[in-house]
Amino acid sequence: MEMVKTEWDKVKVRLRDEVGDAAYRSWLRPITFHGVNGGDIKLALPTRFMRDWVATHYAERIRTLWGAENPGVRTVEIVVGATRATAAPAPIPAQSAPSPVATQPAPVKAVAAKPAVCAPAAVVNGSAEADELGAQLDPRFTFKNFVVGKPNEFAYAAANRVADADTVSFNPLFLYGGVGLGKTHLMHAIAHHIRERNPGRTVLYLSAEKFMYRFIRALRHQDTMSFKEQFRSVDVLMIDDVQFIAGKDATQEEFFHTFNALVDQGRQIVISADKSPSDLEGIEERLRSRMACGLVADIHATTYELRLGILQSKAEQMGVIVPQKVMEFLAHKITSNVRELEGGLNRVVAHSQLVGRAITLESTQEVLQDLLRSSDRRITIEEIQKKVAEHFTIKLSEMSSARRSRQVARPRQIAMYLAKQLTSRSLPEIGRKFGGRDHTTVMHAVKKVEELKDSDQNFAEDVELLRRMLQG
């Protein structure tokens, strides 16, 4: 028996060298020696989920390596059994995603290891529990309430196809476009339609930020197995604003394996971002490649006709009569995104109802003077990044890179400061545009630039020059 255990120790060393520390800690270190009967070796893992994964991906290699140490070894059998308390798996596997777990806890041998066929037990249902794990769906965001025009007709058709399909026709569906153009509306509409059409299907919608926070919590509580089973057992996974995980290597690793697991099982994935997969900075190449392998549908900036249609639809939903000239004026003036367009209409209607005045062109201009003024010359974060990069002769990509040298970090801080001063974007939104950085990083940058402006006259002049150049 002692000789066999010594052989197992040697096999573990070889495995660690082959697969690397991350995969070894996740899947192989928890294995314990369970027994031997002649040339038949028995190893144990604490859960069926881990047993099936190891049996599928490593059992044959274990048998081969053990056979090199002892030619008398014929089979290696993986069973579910108790393991040492210290054998808790580490959070981030380095291999591709696991197959679904098997239904019966029967042992699996290396000579006959097969992928399992059923989903894990921790499956959320199609309504309340799924919403608890993910995010609540907005009841207003349905296909019926989505106004279709030339800029969004392709994305709308693709979303409809996914919602209506019983089988996966393209995976993933990747929707991208600027802020407030309808990506989230379409994702909610897909989820609503699937749940209405087939209540038995498990639909999970959440932001990439929430995915990351749930992953971090699983790491903190050493409960990554439950996390994996929850996310890899759904029928439809929908991740909004995937650009948020840029620069978050551990979260990207886990999302990559979750992505692979669901695709391998024939489950549908829907993703949204502010850029196409190939243009997402701070995202690993393999993940960008995976996201681009399905159907990529872009949503363009709205046209005048589409904006007018959106305003008319919104007025009908609100049950109010808005003069045509007012709607035409708003459609001409508010061109940035649909959210601001609808927000402008909401303000005009609310003002009319609260003060008891009819909606006129004059009252609209008065109520929305701040919004209309900012719409006349709207500066984007991308413009700021480009102008600052040109001014300091650094690459535009450095604005999102992880480099911290002063030559790069200082211009990046100035760009963050100007984004805070010249745009209406929130601190988290600004951080996401700079490689997925945290809002506290933006706060620090703003504070640092203000301090340097007070203490360094040349620096203050540089910042003021950039501001004037951007404001034109």
Domain of residue 439 covers 381-470
Measured CA to CA, the distance from residue 41 to residue 76 in angstroms comes to 5
156 belongs to a structural domain: yes
277 and 142 in a common domain: yes
Query: By the 8 A CB rule, do 128 and 183 touch?
Result: no
137 and 97 in a common domain: no
117 belongs to a structural domain: no
Let me know if 435 is exposed, middle or buried by CB neighbors in 10 A (0-12, 13-18, 19+).
Answer: buried
Let me know if 464 is exposed, middle or buried by CB neighbors in 10 A (0-12, 13-18, 19+).
Answer: exposed
87 and 22 in a common domain: yes
Query: By the 8 A CB rule, do 359 and 349 touch?
Result: yes
Domain count within the chain? 4
Looking at residue 133, its pLDDT comes to 57
Kindly state the tokens that stand for 303: 């046209």
CATH code, domain with 188: 3.40.50.300
Residue 200 annotated as part of some ligand binding site: no
Q: Within 13 Å, how many C-alpha atoms sit on residue 327's CB side?
A: 17
122 belongs to a structural domain: no
- In the three-class reduction of DSSP (H, G, I as helix; E, B as strand; rest coil), residue 363 is classed as helix
Residue 182 annotated as part of some ligand binding site: yes
CATH code, domain with 420: 1.10.1750.10
Closest-CA residue to 62 (of 131, 9, 120, 12): 12
Boundary residue ending a domain (377, 406, 424): 377
216 and 145 in a common domain: yes
CATH code, domain with 365: 1.10.8.60
User: How would you list the strands of the sheet with 268-273, edge to edge?
Assistant: 203-207, 236-240, 268-273, 173-177, 295-299
Looking at residue 118, its pLDDT comes to 29
Looking at residue 134, its pLDDT comes to 60
79 forms bridges with which residues in the sheet?
44
Looking at residue 49, its pLDDT comes to 66
Q: What is the pLDDT of residues 256-302, one digit of tens each?
A: 999 988 988 889 999 999 888 988 888 999 999 989 988 999 998 88
323 and 260 in a common domain: no
394 and 293 in a common domain: no
Residue 144 annotated as part of some ligand binding site: no
107 and 83 in a common domain: yes
Boundary residue ending a domain (55, 82, 111): 111
Looking at residue 125, its pLDDT comes to 40
Looking at residue 88, its pLDDT comes to 36
Greatest Cα-to-Cα distance within the chain, rounded to the nearest angstrom: 93
Closest-CA residue to 66 (of 29, 19, 15): 15
Q: Within 13 Å, how many C-alpha atoms sit on residue 232's CB side?
A: 27
Looking at residue 350, its pLDDT comes to 92
Kindly state the tokens that stand for 379: 């500066």
205 and 226 in a common domain: yes
- Residue 20 zone, left/alpha/beta (φ > 0; ψ -120 to 50; rest): left
pTM across the whole model: 0.54
123 belongs to a structural domain: no
161 and 39 in a common domain: no
Residue 184 annotated as part of some ligand binding site: yes
121 belongs to a structural domain: no
314 and 255 in a common domain: no
385 and 373 in a common domain: no
Q: What is the pLDDT of residues 402-419, one digit of tens each?
A: 888 989 999 999 999 999
Residues of the chain with pLDDT under 50: 83-132
Angle of helix 153-164 versus helix 183-197 axis, rounded to 10: 20
- Write the CA distances from 383 to 356, 422, 471, integer angstroms: 42, 11, 11
118 belongs to a structural domain: no
Query: By the 8 A CB rule, do 229 and 133 touch?
Result: no
405 belongs to a structural domain: yes
209 belongs to a structural domain: yes
How far from chain centre, in Å, is Cα 115? 28
Please tell me what DSSP assigns to residue 104: S
Boundary residue ending a domain (346, 377, 408): 377
410 and 332 in a common domain: no
